[in-house]
Amino acid sequence: MTRDLPLTEVEIETPMARMHSAKIAGKKLVFVPVLRAGVTFVEGMLDLVPTARVAHIGLYREPETFVAVEYFFKSPSDLRERLAIVVSPVLATANTAVAAVDRLKERGGKRTSGWVCLLAAPEGVERFRGLHPDVPLWLAGIDEGLDDNGFILPGLGDAGDRAYGTR
């Protein structure tokens, strides 16, 4: 996900010697976990890029219509100057993904540089790419499809419930 970002050469002091190393150029990244399941990813992302900031967007999927409902949004004040990468375990119907990217763009995050998730449904990938062709998807895998409740098959169920042992 970071391999295409522009880099600059910096000099650093290690415990043993001075050296030159590559560093992400320009403004830093902001990771945007979709609450609550996306929080499970943000610590690992910060291990990858420890200088990144974290924004939070709370969205839940209304169970009957699958419409994404926003209940929380908090971001760094310089969101306009940062590259935003949204993180969530799944991309099912894409309603939440589309809503998250819409909100980021509306609130100044014009440079949304990606959506990162583990598992997606083909229907969600197609819908997301159709509505946000400028935002790359970084997926670990694509499953068979969606069931009548909008869950990925074979999938993993509700990622937030699995991560936190709730229902």
Lookup: tokens for 5: 């970002």
More confident residue, 54 or 109: 54
Distance CA 153, CA 9 (A): 45
Range list of β-strands (E), the chain: 7-13, 18-24, 29-35, 53-54, 56-61, 68-74, 83-87, 90-91, 112-120, 137-142, 145-146, 152-153
Global pTM? 0.84
Domains of the chain: 27-164 (3.40.50.2020)
Total residue count of the chain as it appears in this document? 167
73-125 pLDDT, tens digit per residue, is 999 988 888 889 999 999 999 999 999 999 998 887 666 678 888 899 999 99
Q: How confident is the model at residue 48 (pLDDT cuts 50, 70, 90)?
A: confident
CA gap 145, 164 in Å, rounded:
25
User: What confidence score (pLDDT) does residue 63 get?
Assistant: 84
CA–CA separation, 28 vs 53, rounded Å? 8
| pLDDT for the residue 27 | 67
